Structure 1
Amino acid sequence: MSAPRPLGPGPVVCIGETMAALAPDPVAPLETAGLLRVDIAGAESNVAMYLADHGVPARWVSAVGDDPFGRRVRDGVAALGVDVTAVRTDPTRPTGLLIKNPGPDGTRVHYYRSGSAAAALGPELLRTDALRDAGLVHLTGITAALSPSCRALVEETLAPGRPYPVSFDVNYRPALWRHEPAAETLWSLADRADIVFVGLDEAQALWGDTVKDAGSVRELLPGPAVLVVKDGSRASTAFLGPTAYTVPALRVHVVEPVGAGDAFAAGYLASLRHGGDPVRALRLGHLTAASALRVTADHGPLPSPARLTELLTATEGGWSGATP
């Protein structure tokens, strides 16, 4: 474990696939749904969009197909203030697609992304201008599962001696790991990053009964200078070296949970970029996640600046039990 590396002054560069997304509106199981809303969905672009909402320069790097979905995806991300100049249009491969199927036990996501434009990304990307001025590079475990070339891209981005700090969200998606075990790969990638985000539930799903609490996740992942463990609607804990900081989650009426983890990561990173301490960073993570939880899309509006300031500076008692 090394000392935390400061984020540089350049943009946060978020690398990964964004797909067109179809979701029932209003929320209902697909079997009984009426209208389907066309939206966009991608973990890394979600982070980039929320960073832009927080006033942090963000660049999304990916590839889309030369098709209407690809143009909609690129335009949708750009409309939120994200730099999309490094997004490549692939003339032969399609834009990926996902369909959300809400149900009483949560939302199932069906992917149609095999052979997509973004699945052809590879480590040659690192030798373009896309990362030339990166203050931080953000990756997720999703990209590592898309193709051998995408895995190589993630591996090389995390190589020793890299000129930028890297944040890595484990983002375990079992449907993407049907043909190989995910546990060893995601552990190895996460332990090489500077900043890591992981849910306690996904850590337990990946690494088994040895994961009891946030502290046992830290024991399992000693490498990152900063490790953030999210325990659902209960709390989140940030480890800076061996020191732990815990902040309870806010009370939120959940409309649809997909995208909340990305929003949390963006809020935490935005606070770091603005010089926030660990508690303030965790609070901004919770506040940003609440914005995603309260809408059917992956991206929702932040609380007003006044409300953000009020809650970020509240006493522990004022924070506990608060709503955004």
Structure 2
Amino acid sequence: MTASWCPAPGPVVCLGETMAALAPDPPRPLADAEQLRLSVAGAESNVAMYLADHGVPARWLSAVGDDPLGRRVRAAVAAAGVDVTHVRTDPRRPTGLLLKNPGPTGTRVHYYRTGSAASALGPGLLDGEPLNSAALLHLTGITPALSASCRALVTRALDPPAAERPYAISFDVNHRAALWPDGTAPVVLRALADRADIVFVGLDEAQELWGGDLTVTGLRDLLPGPRILVVKDGGRAATAVTANGACTVPALRTAVVEPVGAGDAFAAGFLAGLLRAEPLPRALRLGHLTAVSALKVTGDHGPLPGGTDIARLLELPDGDWQRYGDGPGCGPKTVGRVFAP
């Protein structure tokens, strides 16, 4: 199945905050940790890094503080092959910070980002480069929750009708409940998502936002605007809905080290496929393959499988891909076995 529309090939601009991240090493509750590992974490820069891994020109647009953490963040994103030329340094505001707190029921994240450099971003960031030469702008629902100016930025980007925008826009709902204490998330995120060309949303987060009985069909009725709506059903499958109908591809089974960052990796893989005008099933497969890279590491950005493995898996007949897919009653299976020579 092919998409009825796909963005023009070209550079992708990923706009949003990236923070320094501290996590216990080895993983354990923060209260018991003796050592912390320093890395970087940001949904939009994660997408940019994975796009760069796939050979797609990617630019990260944001702001960091004039501090050691800001320099660490900028360097880490640049080291992944992402253009950080247009990242601003704010001399008055700090770089944001998060702490990961692993526990028996999952990992909780504690944010220290109020008043950060990125929270001061505003609509003026959309003027000039790097957006003048972009084929696609990638945004998430995290940015409009950071501040009034950040919400104005995302709103302005999505205000023009799709046909009048100089670039396509992808939007990952990425609902972070802790960032929306006023209860406005359902209304704001629905309005923003419905204006984007491509939308990514988890079925579970959609149900949390807009109704516990939502199905993929009901979600399409709720968000009729996007040209492509991608609904991720946990580790089971992902469905892309377009004017031509719906296409569902099972996820790959894998032993999960940490789920943080997998959604960003999936979005990058899918977008990379779409920018190459791949048929939707192959774009979804590329999303799943990229997500595995994040699931197998404690950080947000892990190495992609080898190019030979990716090419082989993209060419598998549907039945053979299904053998590696997840589903009810399936136990974990280390995806490394799928990539065996």
1:294 partner letter: K
> Normalised by the size of structure 2, how large is the TM-score?
0.92
Question: Aligned pair 1:79/2:79, yes or no?
Answer: yes
Structure 1 Cα separation of the partners of residues 212 and 92 of structure 2:
45
Give the superposition deviation at 1:14. 0.3
Give the superposition deviation at 1:130. 2.3
SS across alignment from 1:26 = coil
Question: Aligned pair 1:205/2:197, yes or no?
Answer: no
Choose 260-269 or 120-129, whichever is displaced more. Answer: 120-129
Structure 2 Cα separation of the partners of residues 86 and 9 of structure 1:
21
Structure 1 Cα separation of the partners of residues 231 and 31 of structure 2:
35
Contact 1:4 1:194 in 2 (8 A): no
User: Of 177, 180, 194, which aligns to 2:197?
Assistant: 194
RMSD (Å) for aligned C-alpha atoms: 1.2
Q: Which residue does the alignment assign to 2:93?
A: 93
Structure 2 Cα separation of the partners of residues 217 and 120 of structure 1:
32
Give the superposition deviation at 1:30. 1.1
Determine what percentage of the aligned residue pairs are the same residue: 67
| Runs of 4+ residues deviating >3 angstroms | 3-6
Choose 4-13 or 263-272, whichever is displaced more. Answer: 4-13
SS across alignment from 1:237 = strand
User: Of 306, 309, 318, which aligns to 1:307?
Assistant: 309
Question: Aligned pair 1:129/2:133, yes or no?
Answer: no
* Pairs within 5 Å for 1:49-60: 49-60=49-60
Contact 2:8 2:135 in 1 (8 A): yes
Give the superposition deviation at 1:290. 0.6
Choose 128-137 or 294-303, whichever is displaced more. Answer: 128-137
Structure 2 Cα separation of the partners of residues 100 and 150 of structure 1:
24
Structure 1 Cα separation of the partners of residues 177 and 8 of structure 2:
34
Give the superposition deviation at 1:29. 1.5
Contact 1:251 1:321 in 2 (8 A): no
Question: Aligned pair 1:157/2:157, yes or no?
Answer: yes
SS across alignment from 1:245 = strand
Question: Aligned pair 1:231/2:239, yes or no?
Answer: no
User: Of 237, 245, 263, which aligns to 1:261?
Assistant: 263
Give the superposition deviation at 1:179. 2.5
Gaps in structure 2 of 5+ consecutive residues: 325-334
Q: Which residue does the alignment assign to 1:114?
A: 114
CA distances 1:142-196 after superposition (whole Å, capped 9, x unpaired): 0010000000000011122221110000000001001242000000000000000
Give the superposition deviation at 1:4. 5.5
Contact 1:99 1:111 in 2 (8 A): yes
Q: Which residue does the alignment assign to 1:244?
A: 246
1:57 partner letter: P
Structure 2 Cα separation of the partners of residues 189 and 143 of structure 1:
11
Give the superposition deviation at 1:5. 4.9
Contact 2:4 2:244 in 1 (8 A): no
* Pairs within 5 Å for 1:175-190: 175-190=178-193
Q: How many residues align?
A: 321
Give the superposition deviation at 1:34. 2.6
SS across alignment from 2:166 = coil
